Amino acid sequence: GAIDQLHAFVNGTQAASGSFSQVTRGSGSQAGQAAPVQAGTFSFQRPGRFRWAVAKPYEQLIVSDGKQLFQYDPDLSQVTVREVGEAIGASPAQILFGSGSLEQSFDVAEQPDRDGLQWLRATPKTPEAGFSRVDIAFKDGLPARLELLDAFGQTTAITFNGVARNPQLPADSFRFTAPAGVDVVRMGGASPAARP
């Protein structure tokens, strides 16, 4: 089932890379209305190092070197830097890329298979997570899809493609240096709005 694939993935896959596409759909008054699809690449290395690079329709980069989390938006010409500890918290990134056990911050339950994938549902134990639940689908032991339902009924669906298990990652994959002229903001506490 999905839960044993998740445990095997967390324990057996020390690193991975691939591409993603992401779309958010509304509900109620905004049903059927979707924001444009975002696409990009990701990679991670346990514990705690990951890279989430949106390429289209605009550029945005989130990089964690395990100690600090960098969030860079070239159009806004700003990068925020915060300690990883409080930044990731109970977020989907922590589920897939972290090394802590999921069950610490989530109640996890198997879901029926759908679209040929095995699904689990993770419900945050605290309302502070900023979303209501996240469903994660597995195929051959790797995450294939992630559907995050927020507190306003909007669903963000992320599809992972071409996931390579334990690949050779470039040495500087999880390092970030701010380009010249960009505003670097070192953060105190992490407010929920900024949690990846």
Given 93, 102, 144, 163, the residue binding another protein (CB under 8 A): 93
Q: Which residue has the tokens 């051959």?
A: 140
* Residue 54 or 137 with smaller CB distance to another protein: 54
Candidates 128, 161, 164, 166: give the one binding another protein (CB under 8 A). Answer: 128
**Chain centroid offset of residue 40 CA:** 12
62 Cβ partners below 8 Å, 6+ apart?
A: 50, 51, 52, 53, 69, 70, 71, 72, 93, 196
Cβ at position 183, least distance to another protein in Å:
7
Q: Is 148 in the site for another protein (CB under 8 A)?
A: yes
Span near another protein by CB under 8 A; candidates 5-13, 42-50, 151-159, 164-172:
151-159
Measured on CA atoms in the order 74, 76, 77, 81, is the torsion positive or negative? Answer: negative
Tell me how crowded residue 32 is: count the other CB atoms within 10 A of its CB: 7
Residue 10: its H or E element: helix 2-12
Query: Binding residue for another protein (CB under 8 A) from 111, 123, 154, 173?
Result: 154
The tokens of 182 are what? 């960009």
Say whether residue 94 binds another protein (CB under 8 A): no
Please report how close the Cβ of residue 191 comes to another protein at its closest, in angstroms.
5
Q: Which is nearer to another protein, 130 or 141 (CB)?
A: 130
- Residue among 17, 80, 94, 105 that touches another protein (CB under 8 A): 80
Report the alpha-carbon distance of residue 124 to residue 126 in Å, rounded. Answer: 5
Determine which residue in the list 5, 71, 94, 118 makes contact with another protein, applying CB under 8 A: 71
- Three-state SS for 144-192 is EEEEEECCCCCEEEEEEEEEEECCCCCHHHHCCCCCCCCEEEECCCCCH
- The reply on whether position 163 binds another protein by CB under 8 A is no
Q: Select from 95-103, 108-116, 136-144, 149-157 the region that touches another protein (CB under 8 A).
A: 149-157
Distance of CA 136 to the CA centre of its chain: 11
Contacts with another protein, residue ranges (CB under 8 A): 22-26, 29-30, 33-36, 38, 54, 57-58, 60, 62, 71, 73, 75-78, 80, 91-93, 127-128, 130-131, 148, 150-152, 154, 156, 183, 185-189, 191-196
